[in-house]
């Protein structure tokens, strides 16, 4: 799982669209993720999700399904429309970046965007922010 988390983090950092990208545990859907005190907005937190049990593929290998959650944060504004627009633009960019992207990892045969949470307001060390969490699934053979 760690290689997936690091690969997603590195891809998001390379995009140049975030001031901070970090690995984080998912605390809960209501509360969000743990955000490091050094994080600046816009930011992206990468957390692991469930991993489905491995199954035998005709005794030739193992197939696993992994979920990665990417939480996007943009600064709160007095103009809600501006904030929602900024967040949705980042959502589209991240989906374009990660959907069908095997991240250069060996064994990945499918990567897909699986959905998102609704937009929520959260407090971060960098100030109030709007957050939306995206889920991506990766299928791999080992």
pLDDT of residue 54: 73
List alpha helices for the chain, DSSP H: 2-15, 80-98
| pLDDT tens, N- to C-terminus, the chain (142 residues) | 889 999 999 999 999 999 999 999 876 655 556 889 999 999 999 999 888 867 666 657 788 899 999 999 999 988 889 999 999 999 999 999 999 999 999 989 899 999 999 999 988 888 899 999 999 999 988 7
pLDDT of residue 86: 94
Per the CB < 8 A criterion, the answer to whether 99 and 111 are in contact is yes
Kindly report the pTM of this predicted structure: 0.89
Q: Where are the domains of the chain?
A: 2-141
pLDDT of residue 57: 61
pLDDT of residue 14: 96
For residues 105, 87, 19 and 23, what is the CA-based torsion angle, rounded to 10 degrees? Answer: -50
DSSP state at residue 22: E
Which fold is adopted by the domain 2-141? Answer: STM4215-like (3.30.2000)
């Amino acid at each position: 799982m760690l290689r997936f988390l690091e690969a997603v983090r590195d891809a998001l950092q390379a995009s140049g669209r975030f001031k901070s990208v970090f690995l984080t545990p998912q605390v809960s859907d209501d509360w969000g993720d743990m955000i490091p005190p050094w994080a600046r907005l816009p930011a992206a937190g990468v957390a692991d999700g469930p991993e489905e049990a491995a199954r035998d593929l005709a005794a030739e290998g193992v197939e696993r399904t992994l979920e990665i959650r990417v939480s996007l944060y943009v600064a709160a504004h007095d103009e809600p429309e501006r904030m929602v627009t900024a967040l949705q633009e980042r959502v589209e960019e991240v989906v374009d970046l990660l959907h069908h992207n095997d991240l250069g990892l060996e064994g990945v045969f499918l990567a897909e965007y699986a959905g998102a949470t609704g937009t929520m307001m959260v407090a971060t060390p960098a100030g109030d922010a709007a957050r939306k969490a995206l889920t991506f699934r990766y299928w791999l053979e080992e």
